[in-house]
Each structure stands twice: as C-alpha cells, then as structure tokens.
Chain A
Amino acid sequence: MTKHLSPEKLNERRIKAVQLRLDGLTVVQVCERTGLSAPTVSAAWKAFREGGWAAVPVRPRGRHKGQANVLAPALKATLWQCLHELPPVGEPGWNSADLAQCLEKAHSQPVSQRAVEHWWEEEHLKREAWPLGSLSKERSMRGRWYRQAVAPVFKQLNSAAQRWQGGVRHLSHPDGSLYQIYLHGSRGRLWMRSFRRPPVAEDYLITLKALAANGPAALVFHGAALSAAPELTAWLAAQRDFWLVPVPADIGLVPGESVRAGAKSTVFNNCISNGCVPHNRASNNPDSNSKQVKR
C-alpha cells in the first residue's frame, strides 16, 4: 500500500499516524484516515515509543548522491588542478562539460558530466540555484528585495540565458582553506572556480567580463563586497549592458543563513523579536519595566 509513496509523503503520513494514535484513535481508525496499512501504522507507533519523533521517519532510499567512488584519485587531482586554473576562454568558470573534456584530454579516458557532478557533490562544491522566481510574491524581506532590486533588472533581459546568479564562499576542506566562485546560468547550470586564497578583484573581473562578453546580462551576486574594490567599481561603471545586483546580508536567501521571513535587519532585533530571550526571565532586572534597548 505504501510502495507508491515517496519517502517524504510516507514520512508525513507516518507522523500523522503517530499523532492520531496519541490522540487515542485505534489502529483501524488511523488506517482509514491516513491510508496506511495496519503494519505500517503499528511500525510507526513502535518506532515512536522506542525512539521519539526522530525515529518515526523512514530512512531515505538508496545511497546518498556523490557517495559512489567513480573517479580515480588521479582524475580527482586533475579536476582540482583545473578548478584552480583559469577557465576556458570565454567561459565565466568551469562547468561539468568542460571539466569532463579536460579529464578526457589529460587521461585519454572518457568521463561523463554526471561523474563530474557527483564529484562536486562529494566535495561539497555543488550549490543549488536560488529560487529567485518564487520570491516575486513572497511577503518577506527577501521578497521585497527581489521586487525592488532584481525584478526591474530581469525585466530588461528577454532571455533566461542572460540572467545569472552566483556568489563566492569559503569552504573548510581537509587540504586547507578553499574559496569558490560559483555561478548559475539558465536552468540552474553550474559554473565554478576555486582558489586557495580569497579571490581578488582580478579573479572577479575575469568572471564578470566573460558574462558581459555575450551581450546584455545581469548577475545577482552574494558573498563579496565587490563595491569595495575600485577596479571592479570602475569596470562596472563603464558597462551599459551589464547589471550587478548584490544580495544583502541576512535576508535568508543563501542556504546556511538563518531564514526568517519578515525579519528585521539586525540579528539582535531578530533574537529579541523571535522570543529567544523570554522577557519574563528579567523579573529581577532593576529596569524590568522599561523597554528593551533597541537600535
């Protein structure tokens, strides 16, 4: 009965089943309401009693992406070498096709793009594109930012191929600090470069120039204060058909950031307004009746 369900749907129903059992319904009643079989309901209930809520969901099926060791160490070393070098002429970074081609040239061995993408996942280099389109109607700080800063720029560009997004980030790697510039083109296609030191203005310029070379383009960029570098501001000012839209800090767009819809700009205010510091705890505060100091 549950084989046709995805793990996510199944987990939802298992949690619902446990909630209903906790409400006092019998197994038969729970089966009727959730559409699960009696053994599944009993199994979820047993898992809950033995391990709490965390034990109720089933394990994900199959192996994790990127766990398969499909590339030999020599190939991986070549991939790292490529990523640290300049990308092919005219490209803003390395994509999986270019890297697969590079491997084939270096080792005379055909490697699929999928294998390269699996290696990205294994090394935590792969990033998902931000769902910018879904922000257009979102009532939040990032929704407002999208409508005010991104949408007017994207409106001027007809093709999705002209709309880019990306950023720079720091990764802790077993071989030491690693910095990555990543870009998503149309359909979430990924380009990247990596560095052993923080990228400098010249590195960003190579990427930006490659994007601007193919006509009008816009880049929504996160992770660097590009306006602080005079070389970059001068180049950007000279462009008529290239738009750079920086992603503001702490709007919850980038994974890993705390996502708070409608959050205020400072983390301090977030903390207070979200109630992580209960006000009733300050009962012996000499000034407990006064307002919290707000910036």
Chain B
Amino acid sequence: MTSLTHLQRLEAESIQIMREVVAETDNPVMLYSVGKDSAVMLHLARKAFAPSPPPFPLMHVDTRWKFRAMYEFRDDMARDIGMELIVHINPEGVEKNVNPFTHGSAIHTEIMKTEGLKQALDKYGFDAAFGGARRDEEKSRAKERVFSFRTAQHRWDPKNQRPELWKIYNTRKHKGESIRVFPLSNWTELDIWQYIYLQNIPIVPLYYSAERPVVERDGTLIMVDDKRMPLEPGEVPMMRKVRFRTLGCYPLTGAIESEADTLPAIIQEMLLTNTSERQGRVIDNDSAASMEKKKQEGYF
C-alpha cells in the first residue's frame, strides 16, 4: 500500500471536490482572484480534468484597484492556459467612482466586491462558484463548510450549515440557491507555499521580496502602485524591501518587510511566522467579526 504525503492527500481531496461539483451542478465557475490560492486552485482544476481544460470558466470580480502586476499576470495566465476568463466590474461602482480613499474600505468592499460578485453570479446564472478560501485564514472562514450554500439573495447563514461527515457532500439545492465551494478549505498557508514550490506553479511577483515604493499608514506599509494613490502633503514614498503575504486592492493591502525573494526563503519565513496572512488586509479590521458580516451579505 502506498502512503500519501499530507500534500498529496490535500491535493486528492481538492480534486475530488472539484469533480463532485462538476458532476452535480449545472453551471459552475471558478473565481480567480489572481492570488497564490487561486493559482493553486487553478492548477488543481487543470489536474482534475487533464488532458481537457477544466469544464468551467474563470471569473475575476475586479475592483479596478488591484496591483498592476496582478492584472498583467492575470492576462498572461488566461492567455497561456486557454481558459475563458470573465472579468466583471460593478458598473454602478464605476459610475459613482467608488474607491477606497473617498468612500472608505468598507463601502468599497461592499460595492465593488460583494455586490460585484452577486451581480456577476446572477448575470451568468452560475449555480456553483469555486473559491480559494482556507480555514486557517480567518475565524469566520474556519467554520464555513466546504460546500457553503447561499440563498437566492446570496446570503450565508452560519447557523444553518450542512454536515460533511466522512467527506460526503450533500449538493442538493433549492431553486435559486447557489453553492460556494472551497476546495482548499483544509490547506494552510504553509501547505500552499510548499505545493507551489513542489509543483512549480507560477505566481504574481509581488509575493517575492523586492524594493518597492511604500508609505506608512497607521503602521501598515502600503505600496504606491500608481498615481491614483493620494499622498499626504509633503509625503515621499520610501523604497523598502517588502513582499506581500496576501494580495487584494493595493490601497487596502499591507506589505511586510522581508528578504525572502525565493520560494525556499518564503517557506522558511512561513515556518517562523505566528501571525495570519489576513493581518495585512485593512478590510478585515473594519470592526469586530467584520468578515463574518461581510460573508453573510455575500462576500466570498
């Protein structure tokens, strides 16, 4: 009997989940946020259905405020793997020019991400959406099932979740309901990095340490990625050797000072860290249990 490593077990579990979703749902989609978890999820999807491409499109719910390197990477990736990429931006948000600076992180997230996602799911009629969330990221994500059911209004009820005993998933859903599926639920950040290293998965260069222009805001290092970032009077961005543990909208994503510019160095850094990667996300610190509230309203 061959024994599997823990990464092989996680990989097998994720592939089984993906195949289950494709077998049981009508119109699945994979949400692609261009981060490292999305990269791993996409790699697993390609493995699950190889040699054919995965039988679902990728969808990026864009806010217009992602890092430039993320957009370049997304377009390169979609072109290279030959999958359909749907990019959805909330047109109401564009019309009102919603942004993290004038509207604040909470409203920006609500309109551009949560509402944008709900619009896109309704527009294309997707009944299942894969997401790269992991349980170790944040406490509200820790209690969410692998198959997370949403009402027709995309709301999540954390007190009404289905049991998933012995990894048997009940995929039956009522009319109008949809499922958010998290094949990476049981992975940790370290697992993700080890898997990226072992499988040689391409990721956005922002994860590697490099000199980047940053300003300090409330103790968080924010990268000045383009000219839209308003500077305080007299403020001059400093070049510091930083990298990102998590990637989102650049004005809302904190960098960490690091010398890790290779995958082994990142893994070594991961082994020593005792904080969550989401610590760098400004939106997670809006209020107590803010992530759970956002998730109940439809945030991924």
Contact = CB atoms under 8 A, between A and B. Distances in A.
Interface in A208-262: 222-226, 228-229, 231-232, 249-250, 256-258
Contacts of B205: 266-269, 295
Contact of A276 (B198, B259, B262): B262
A271 interface: yes
Contacts of B286: none
A287 interface: yes
B142 interface: no
Contact of A224 (B46, B73, B237): B237
Contacts of A256: 241, 259
B261 interface: yes
Interface of A: 168, 170, 179, 198-202, 204, 222-226, 228-229, 231-232, 249-250, 256-258, 266-271, 274, 276-279, 281-282, 284-287, 290-295
B200 interface: yes
Given A277-B197, A286-B51, A295-B205, A170 B235 contact: no
Contacts of B224: 225, 228
Contact of B210 (A222, A224, A226, A250): A250
Interface residues of B, number: 44
Interface in B219-243: 224, 231, 234-241
A199 B236 contact: yes
27 contacts: A170-B238, A170-B240, A198-B236, A198-B238, A200-B234, A201-B236, A224-B237, A224-B238, A224-B239, A225-B213, A225-B239, A228-B231, A228-B236, A229-B231, A229-B235, A232-B236, A249-B210, A249-B211, A257-B211, A267-B208, A267-B209, A281-B197, A285-B43, A286-B43, A286-B50, A286-B51, A295-B72
Nearest to B50: A286
For the complex of A and B, 10 pairs with smallest distance between CB atoms: A268-B205, A249-B211, A282-B200, A200-B234, A286-B50, A267-B208, A293-B202, A201-B234, A276-B262, A225-B237
A24 to B, nearest CB: 34
Interface in B76-133: 76-77, 80-81
Nearest to A200: B234
Nearest to B200: A282
A232 B72 CA distance: 31
B235 A200 contact: yes
A231 B234 CA distance: 7
A295 B67 CA distance: 14
Given A284-B199, A286-B50, 17 more contacts: A199-B236, A200-B234, A224-B239, A225-B213, A229-B235, A229-B236, A249-B212, A257-B241, A267-B210, A270-B261, A277-B197, A281-B198, A286-B46, A286-B47, A291-B80, A295-B72, A295-B205
